[in-house]
């Protein structure tokens, strides 16, 4: 497997990270080396093996359906880049 | 008292031969003198530290002191701590003052431990050399040309340099054990699920686990008593009875079955490390341990499996950094997507970006089965290897890293070369087992080397017992660098 520059640009777009052409070239070479390492997995026969998501086979807990959180809006918005009237502000998304 | 263990500091505080404020002052002075050289701390705030120390002294005067009340503790800059900058080593969070406490922080605050500062780390805990920090590399106190290890490199360097008697770290693929080994201190990564991940900035959620780093195994046991325990806010926190991790420290090692995985002593292990581990095993035999050879045949596959699973989970976890609710936002942008892309391009460093890209790719449409699912199946094979090995032994011993600390800059341009050095630590995280590093000697060039002890699930007390008995018979853990 070898990632082309178009592939790298597409992945970066999916990841919402702006990349320059120089970065694509440099990163592409490194990603191909990393995938060279990762591809070693493909030689292993894993037929019938149950994938392991969590070391302990435990199911997710359910909690009582009651309010547990108090209002922390002011504290949480104190670290936000831009807020107004208790809302997080972003560039206009609807014309 | 800068060379004292937590146990000794606890006794001195109880005997009122020193106050918490005096202790904090001593360590703060030492940080002021040495941190410009070592860069082990990102944030030091004497005012806050001394206020915590004064509160600890007041609690003691009121007869409300616990075992560790008033003892200074360094905190890896990954744990949210209300009122303290929690940067995670990233420009992305350089402006982030945590609005709440992580579970682990609630615990250490309740125990009266005093925050001596927030330690440097690889950005978002991604790295094995502590060279990926926005705040610059940490120097190894034993040799300023050497890396301290990563990602908890600041925590390890702080304890080794006696800038703090103990520290908190996190370990996703070796990030407590490897820096502990490279800096000549003791550190333990508990069984996955023992320490709550609530408020610990997420890297790879199925692997991340916090743990203590200190001079001795006994101190690690005391700290683990403080931070371990169920927390409903972490969906993978385990509901188990409270344990006293010091309970087996004094036990004899007579009859202990120690497993040596043949794959850990194969090609790639440096002569220095092989010699130190051989000597440590010989020491344990003298203490009554029996050695059996075991096999972990899928060890090499831990590298590709880890470098799929960890980046995949990271790409998902780090999608939260969007410049909207907290963290870095680019100064100029033309629309929402441009704001995301620029904020993330500016806020993340090179290694974090690489891992997000790898993770994004392996989780993208059509590739899930070939990568993430495949890696999870290999993860099962690796866990099964350990299960079989633990039918023959009580603990597994081996190296932590193939070599002693390498030089700063030596591997920083070659990510794959860096990843390969994680060979002995990754499989422990993939299996969710507890692992620790214990100082066991030095390389010919004077850099420390740790012995790795891997336990079965919930085997922390047994591992700490082995480490403590080893430390009763050796003094590697009491050696300090000349600074």
Question: What pLDDT shows up at residue B78?
Answer: 98
CB contact under 8 A, B324 and A41: no
- By C-alpha distance, the chain A residue nearest B387 is A55
Smallest CA–CA distance, residue B431 to chain A, in Å, is 6
pLDDT at A95 over 80: no
Q: Check residues B160 and A63 and name the one with the higher pLDDT.
A: B160
DSSP string, B256-310: -EEEEEGGGGSTT--HHHHHHHHHHHHHHHHTT-EEEEE--TTGGGHHHHHHHHH
Q: Check residues A94 and B244 and name the one with the higher pLDDT.
A: B244
Can the peptide bond before residue B72 be classed as cis, meaning omega within 30 degrees of 0?
no
Which CATH number covers residue B481? 3.90.1300.10
pLDDT band, residue A56 (cuts 50/70/90): confident
Q: What is the CA radius of gyration of chain A?
A: 23
Fold designation for A5-43: Histone, subunit A (1.10.20)
What residues does each domain of chain A span?
5-43
Mean pLDDT of B3-16: 98
pLDDT band, residue A93 (cuts 50/70/90): confident
> Would you call A13 exposed, middle or buried from its count of C-beta atoms within 10 A (0-12, 13-18, 19+)?
middle
pLDDT at B267 over 90: no
CB B452 within 8 A of CB B177: yes
ipTM of the complex: 0.95
Interface test with B, best of A15, A46, A90 (most B CBs within 10 A): A15
Question: What pLDDT shows up at residue B388?
Answer: 98
Q: Which residues of A touch B414 (CB under 8 A)?
A: 33
pLDDT at B213 over 90: yes
CB contact under 8 A, B99 and A16: no
What are the catalytic residues of B?
76, 151, 175
Q: How many domains does chain B have?
A: 1
DSSP string, B355-402: HHHHHHHHTSTTTTIIIIIHHHHHHHHHHHHHHHHTTT-SEEEEESSS
Smallest CA–CA distance, residue A48 to chain B, in Å, is 9
What's the whole-model pTM score? 0.97
- Nearest 10 degrees: CA dihedral of B353, B358, B359, B364? 120
Residue with tokens 């040799």: B143
- By C-alpha distance, the chain B residue nearest A16 is B341
pLDDT band, residue B438 (cuts 50/70/90): very high
Question: What pLDDT shows up at residue B27?
Answer: 98
pLDDT band, residue A58 (cuts 50/70/90): confident
CB contact under 8 A, B354 and A72: no
- By C-alpha distance, the chain A residue nearest B313 is A53
CB contact under 8 A, B99 and A80: no
pLDDT band, residue B79 (cuts 50/70/90): very high
Question: What pLDDT shows up at residue A68?
Answer: 87
- Mean pLDDT, chain B, integer: 97
Domain boundaries, position B60: 1-483
Question: What pLDDT shows up at residue B412?
Answer: 86
pLDDT band, residue A1 (cuts 50/70/90): low
Question: What pLDDT shows up at residue A63?
Answer: 85
Mean pLDDT of B78-84: 98
pLDDT band, residue B445 (cuts 50/70/90): very high
Judged by a CB distance cut-off of 8 A, whether residue A62 touches chain B is no
Q: Which residues of A touch B433 (CB under 8 A)?
A: 55
């Amino acid at each position: 497997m070898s990632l082309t520059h178009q592939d790298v640009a597409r992945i970066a777009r999916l990841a919402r990270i702006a990349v320059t052409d120089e970065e694509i070239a440099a990163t592409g070479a490194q990603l191909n080396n990393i995938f060279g390492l990762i591809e070693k997995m493909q030689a292993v026969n894993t037929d019938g093996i149950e994938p392991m998501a969590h070391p302990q086979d435990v199911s997710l807990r359910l909690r009582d359906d009651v309010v547990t959180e108090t209002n922390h809006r002011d504290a949480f918005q104190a670290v936000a880049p831009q807020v107004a009237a208790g809302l997080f502000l972003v560039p206009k998304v609807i014309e | 008292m800068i060379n004292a263990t937590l146990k000794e500091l606890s006794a001195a505080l109880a005997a009122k031969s020193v106050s918490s404020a005096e202790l904090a002052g001593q360590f703060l002075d030492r940080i002021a003198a040495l941190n410009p050289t070592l860069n082990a701390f990102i944030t030091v705030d004497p005012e806050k530290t001394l206020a915590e120390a004064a509160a600890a002294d007041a609690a003691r005067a009121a007869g409300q002191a616990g075992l560790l009340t008033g003892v200074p503790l360094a905190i890896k800059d990954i744990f949210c701590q209300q009122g303290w900058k929690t940067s995670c080593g990233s420009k992305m969070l350089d402006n982030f003052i945590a609005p709440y406490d992580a579970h682990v922080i609630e615990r250490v605050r309740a125990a009266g431990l005093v925050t001596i500062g927030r330690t440097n780390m690889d950005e978002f805990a991604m790295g094995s050399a502590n060279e990926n920090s926005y705040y610059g590399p940490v120097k190894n106190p034993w040799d300023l040309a050497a890396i301290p290890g990563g990602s908890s490199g600041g925590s390890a360097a702080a304890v080794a340099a006696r800038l703090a008697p103990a520290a908190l770290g996190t370990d996703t693929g070796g990030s407590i054990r490897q820096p502990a080994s490279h800096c000549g201190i003791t550190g333990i990564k508990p069984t996955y699920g023992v320490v709550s991940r609530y408020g610990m900035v997420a890297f790879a959620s199925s692997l991340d686990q916090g743990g203590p780093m200190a001079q001795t195994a006994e101190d690690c046991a005391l700290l683990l008593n403080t931070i371990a325990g169920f927390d409903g806010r972490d969906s993978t926190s385990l509901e188990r009875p409270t344990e006293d991790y010091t309970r087996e420290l004094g036990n004899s090692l007579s009859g202990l079955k120690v497993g040596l995985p043949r794959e850990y002593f194969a090609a790639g292990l440096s002569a220095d490390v092989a010699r130190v581990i051989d000597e440590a095993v010989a020491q344990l035999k003298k203490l009554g341990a029996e050695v059996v050879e075991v096999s972990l045949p899928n060890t090499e596959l831990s590298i590709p499996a880890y470098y799929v699973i960890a980046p995949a989970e990271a790409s998902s976890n780090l999608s939260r950094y969007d410049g909207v609710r907290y963290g870095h936002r680019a100064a100029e942008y033309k629309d929402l997507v441009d704001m995301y892309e620029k904020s993330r391009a500016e806020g993340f460093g090179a290694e974090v970006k690489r891992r997000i890209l790898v993770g994004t790719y392996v989780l993208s449409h059509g590739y899930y089965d070939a990568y993430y699912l495949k890696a999870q199946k290999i993860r099962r094979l690796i866990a099964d290897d350990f299960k079989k090995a633990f039918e023959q032994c009580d603990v597994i011993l081996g190296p932590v890293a193939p070599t002693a600390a390498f030089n700063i800059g030596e591997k920083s341009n070659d990510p794959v070369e860096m990843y390969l050095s994680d060979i002995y630590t990754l499989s422990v995280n993939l299996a969710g087992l507890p692992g620790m590093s214990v100082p066991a000697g030095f390389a010919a060039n004077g850099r420390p080397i740790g012995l790795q002890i891997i336990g079965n699930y919930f085997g922390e007390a047994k591992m700490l017992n082995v480490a403590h008995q080893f430390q009763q018979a050796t003094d590697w853990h009491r050696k300090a660098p000349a600074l």
